[in-house]
Amino acid sequence: MRVLKALADAEHQDFPEAAKIISRDMYMDDILSGAASLTSAKSLQADLSKLLRRGGFELHKWVSNHPALLNDISTSEYSFEDTQSNTVKALGMLWKPQPDQLTFKVSVKKKDSLTKREVLSQIARLYDPLGIIGPVIAKAKIFMQSLWLQKFDWNDNLPTKVLQVWNDFLVKLPGVNEINVPRYILSEDVTKIELHGFSDASERAYGAVIYIRCVTHSGLIQTKLVCSKSRVSPLKPITVPRLELSAALLLARLMHKIVPVLDLPLDKICLWTDSKIVLSWLNMQPHMLKTFVSNRVAKIQSLCSNSQWRHVSSKCNPADVLSRGADAKDLRDNDLWWQGPEFLLPDITDPEEYPCPKDKTFEQELKGNVTVSCAVTNESDFLDKLLNLTNNYSKLIKILSFCCRFLKNCLHKNAKTGFLTAAELDNAEQLLIKQVQSTTFAKEITALQDGKSVPVSSKLKSLDPFLDSNSILRVGGRLKNANLEYDAKH
């Protein structure tokens, strides 16, 4: 891979589009890419071959949904895949080039005895990175989690009742083999493209699904499934609104990832949830909410705009199918899952305004007014206590430096972090010295501040004491003429 990327960078000037394809659409020894027209595809095909040939690489086994792309190339120069009407693998997904459809092929036989390890192995065979059959896989994951809840060991044979539930699922699983999904998600002569994402949660799982909505020049509106993602609910029980919020975060992250990958001129992005409580949370400042909700609301707000969120009724929410799971046969005929809700077909009006819910669940996530009791102490008491903490002078200076930094950060918006600076350490040391001097030489410092001489009885009288620019007490004497640093002389 490193060699191919280096080759693409080296030949970027001569083959800009081909170099971009190699950098973006190369997966190990396979290239999975395309073009908007036959002419562009032929040009890209020729450039890819020329670019890679300069590095000594030869492309073989071309597969395309357009036969003309293959017929125009000499078979003596290239080796083609001649099974255009059959199913081929495209990065693990099954693709029928001629009808240009994605499909599935699952063959899992039910057994008279199974362990948790074998169930997980069977689930892993359901390869669906796009989430096209997400509800089916969600149901399998829900069953797997139930095995954990019942505390079965990896090699324990499942009880008859539990095994029967899994076998019923396997009997219906071959229904996914009858599912054929168009690979091309756009429509011809498109004038408007929108993305609509839906999220939902149940006590067992939560998920998000995204649809593309295309409006043609003639006014025809088509919606198609793009992708989905699901997760089982945590083993530790949490409220449904919190699960709904987790689903909304999953949708926001999925949309944030999908938009740059599609690289389409989008006219609108809408995010839908059937939870009015979640919508109310999203319209609040995160600091007003408790930690769990606050963190997720803040993340969602950083990924998308609040104006993109809409409310959808539960019966029109396709993510409901994802959160509850579905059998393969039921999913095959579920139009809500494949096309999305019917209200996407006419023009979509602006969302309604919903008042803040006043139920207990909503109010439980709000931070209450906190009464803080403060004990006031003076600076000298604080430093005296600090001196009793340790007999290590360097450690003492560092502790005091961090305390001073904390106080400054409380007063300024731009908080300072990281290692302590030399200036911070010097300031802390001066503060400590002044505190000790004010306790031991209070009379001397007061006299010098008033412009008087120190008392005759003072031990410092013979040392010619004075206050420097920082009000630190220093001594004079004959050393002032010595070739020493200022701190050493005084």
pLDDT at 77 over 50: no
182, 224 Cβ separation under 8 angstroms: yes
pLDDT (0 to 100) of residue 73: 62
pLDDT (0 to 100) of residue 349: 55
pLDDT tens digits, one per residue of 347-383: 665 545 444 555 566 667 777 655 555 555 555 667 7
H or E segment and range at residue 272:
strand 268-273
Per-residue pLDDT band for 200 (boundaries 50, 70, 90) equals: very high
Q: List, in sequence order, every residue forming a beta bridge with 464; answer none if it has no partner.
A: none
Rounded average pLDDT over 148-171: 92
- Cα–Cα distance for residue pair 127/176, rounded to 1 Å: 12
pLDDT (0 to 100) of residue 394: 86
CA-CA distances (angstroms) from residue 314 to 33, 289, 424? 37, 25, 58
Name the DSSP class of 466. Answer: E
Name the residue among 128, 181, 116 with its Cα closest to residue 155: 116
H or E segment and range at residue 434:
helix 422-440
pLDDT (0 to 100) of residue 208: 97
pLDDT (0 to 100) of residue 376: 52
CA-CA distances (angstroms) from residue 466 to 264, 453, 459, 471, 474? 75, 9, 14, 9, 5
- Runs of H (alpha helix) within 333-392: 335-339, 360-364, 379-387
Per-residue pLDDT band for 106 (boundaries 50, 70, 90) equals: confident
Tokens of 325: 């799971």
Per-residue pLDDT band for 489 (boundaries 50, 70, 90) equals: low
Higher pLDDT, 210 or 450: 210
The whole-chain average pLDDT of the chain stands at 85
Check: pTM over 0.75? Answer yes or no. Answer: no
CA-CA distances (angstroms) from residue 114 to 129, 140, 268, 310, 358? 26, 15, 48, 45, 49
pLDDT (0 to 100) of residue 234: 93
Per-residue pLDDT band for 166 (boundaries 50, 70, 90) equals: very high
pLDDT at 80 over 60: no
pLDDT (0 to 100) of residue 79: 44
Higher pLDDT, 187 or 151: 151
Higher pLDDT, 460 or 275: 275
pLDDT tens digits, one per residue of 234-250: 988 899 999 999 999 99
For residue 469, give every residue at least 6 positions away whose Cβ sits within 8 Å of its Cβ, in sequence order, or none: none
Per-residue pLDDT band for 137 (boundaries 50, 70, 90) equals: very high
Higher pLDDT, 134 or 76: 134
pLDDT (0 to 100) of residue 27: 83
pLDDT at 477 over 90: no
Q: How far is CA 205 from the centre of its chain?
A: 19
Per-residue pLDDT band for 212 (boundaries 50, 70, 90) equals: very high
- Cα–Cα distance for residue pair 140/123, rounded to 1 Å: 7
- % of the chain exceeding 90 in pLDDT: 38
